């Protein structure tokens, strides 16, 4: 098994606490409402929403995939860090065992956030991950952040 690590970083004008509440803590409710093309619904299969919880995310009509299963590895509400692993779904090929993610929101000097994301692709055997596969995933994640950011800007009272 190999592990390939990719890091990305982008910014938001939304402060970390507010963005974390929307993007992490209430994502299962918010995203299907504001981005149904990305996520149709989420159901908790096991757990209480904390570490160890397994969720099935049914992807929207706009996605090339139908579903993924996430296992929550950790949520640090005080430091705005979210760790989870994609453990199943048609977005994972037969060459990948799982993909582990860490998303950390850090306050920026302008009052917004810097979103730091690390992805660890755990492959089966000596498989190499193609950069375009990773890039497509990064673009989807960045697009979802921008949808949430736009929603929060349009609804300044939400998630305060």
pLDDT per position as a tens digit, 121-153: 898 877 777 777 777 777 888 888 899 999 999
Residues 6+ apart with CB under 8 A from 146: none
Helix axes 131-154, 27-34, angle to 10 degrees: 90
Give the span between the Cα atoms of 15 and 55, in whole angstroms: 27
Please enumerate in sequence order all residues whose Cβ is within 8 A of that of 150, keeping only pairs 6 or more positions apart, or say none: none
How many Cα neighbours within 13 Å face the side chain of 72? 22
Average pLDDT over residues 150-158: 97
Give me the mean pLDDT over the 96-125 stretch. 93
Confidence of residue 39 (pLDDT cuts 50, 70, 90): very high
70-103 pLDDT tens trace: 999 999 999 999 999 999 998 787 888 999 999 9
**What average pLDDT does range 32-60 have in this prediction?**
95
């Amino acid at each position: 098994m190999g592990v390939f690590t990719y890091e990305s970083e982008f910014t938001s004008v939304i402060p970390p606490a507010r963005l974390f509440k929307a993007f992490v803590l209430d994502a299962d409710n918010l995203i299907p409402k504001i981005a149904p093309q990305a996520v149709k619904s989420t159901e908790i299969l096991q757990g209480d929403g904390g570490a160890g919880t397994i969720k099935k995310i049914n992807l929207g009509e706009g996605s090339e995939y139908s579903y993924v299963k996430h296992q929550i590895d950790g949520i640090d509400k005080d430091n705005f860090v979210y760790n989870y692993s994609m453990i199943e779904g048609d977005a994972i090929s037969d060459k990948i065992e799982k993909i582990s993610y860490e998303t950390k929101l850090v306050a920026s000097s302008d009052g917004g956030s810097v979103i730091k994301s690390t992805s660890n692709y755990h492959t089966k055997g000596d498989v190499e991950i193609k950069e375009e596969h990773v890039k497509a995933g990064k673009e989807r994640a960045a697009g979802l952040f921008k949808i949430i950011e736009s929603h929060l800007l349009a609804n300044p009272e939400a998630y305060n």
